[in-house]
Amino acid sequence: MSEAESRRGHIATDAYSGVDFFDRVRSVAGGALMASGAAAAVGSLLDWVTITPPPKVRPVFRNMDLEGVKASQPFSGLEAGDGWWVIGAGVVMILTAGLLIVRRRSLYAWIALLAAMVMGGITFADFRAIGDLGSGLSRRMDIVGQARPALGITLVAAAALVGIVAAGAGIAASPRTDT
């Protein structure tokens, strides 16, 4: 074998493992997509909003029965309603990640990218709506007190961002098919 042939073989496959570089990238991207989908599903089960109770009523106004106002309870993504969509997108991400690894087609990475974008769009819209008392999310949950984003919505937002990057890596590492 000539030196040029050995270099060409060394570039396409790793000399130690015999695995193509793009197969490794696709496997890592698939693993990241699976982890993102699972993290999104877990995040939609966790609290999306924490509520700080409103300030106490001054003693002068206690006789007016204003002290009965209490803070609402924190709620999860499923209670907000949008968590079901996030779980659905997470399941799609997990399934397409498995197909990306096994079938080696960029179509599955494109579908995972779409699922990650849907997940991110829902999450970031809800993230922005938490502090706005006039938003649909606040009206649906009837928030009393000061609302702040919680761990669950932050986990879903991070999962969406990781899913977008991993899907892009899966698209770039997948071979083009002419069929």
Give domain status of residue 107, yes or no: yes
SS3 105: coil
Give domain status of residue 150, yes or no: yes
Task: Identify the domain containing residue 133 by its residue range.
Answer: 21-50+71-172
Give domain status of residue 132, yes or no: yes
Give domain status of residue 85, yes or no: yes
pLDDT at 144 (0 to 100) = 62
Give domain status of residue 113, yes or no: yes
pLDDT at 105 (0 to 100) = 86
Residue 81: which residues within 8 A CB-CB, separation 6 or more? 140
Give domain status of residue 124, yes or no: yes
SS3 44: helix
Measured in whole angstroms, how far is the alpha carbon of residue 60 from the centre of its chain? Answer: 48
97-109 residue pLDDT tens: 999 989 888 899 9
